[in-house]
Amino acid sequence: MNSLRVIIIDDDPITVWLHQLFVKQSELSTDPLVFLNGLEALHHLDSLDHLNSRSLLLLDLNMPNMNGWEILEALNMRSYAGQVFAIIISSSIDTKDHKKAKTYKQVIGYLEKPIKVNELRNVMLPDVQA
């Protein structure tokens, strides 16, 4: 059985704290990983064994150094791309962002801040193709 690793990627410490709380309350994960920087998150993903686990990113779009779009582009070039899914969590209500998010196969949702525990409880990952 595949396990799920939840990774929060956001540069705002208050948002990170809330997302950690909500992820735990939703029972999506008891111990979500946190990265305040997209580049660090990508390096971490590169170091993982993706054979028996999947990762769910709660991904902010607007961050310094490496924004959410750049993370998604980088993931597309990784051999483990099929094991990583993302929910974009952004303060952007721009319909262009919503449309752009749908062009990435890893993106399974787009939530506007502030998120709610019930939204996380309803997360369903697609079946992974062998």
For the domain spanning 3-121, the CATH number is 3.40.50.2300
DSSP characters over 29-87: -SS-EEESSHHHHHHHHHHS--SSEEEEEEE-S--SSS-HHHHHHHHHTSTTGGGEEEE
**Distance from CA of residue 10 to its chain's centroid?**
10
Q: What's the pLDDT at 127?
A: 66
Q: What pLDDT is recorded for position 70?
A: 97
Residue 36 — φ and ψ, nearest 5°?
-90, 0
- The pLDDT of residue 41: 95
Query: pLDDT at residue 128 above 70?
Result: no
Return the pLDDT at 47.
93
Lowest mean pLDDT among 40-44, 71-75, 89-93: 89-93
Q: What is the mean pLDDT of the chain?
A: 90
State the pTM of this model.
Answer: 0.91
Confidence of residue 94 (pLDDT cuts 50, 70, 90): confident
Domain ranges of the chain: 3-121
User: Residue 121's pLDDT is what?
Assistant: 86
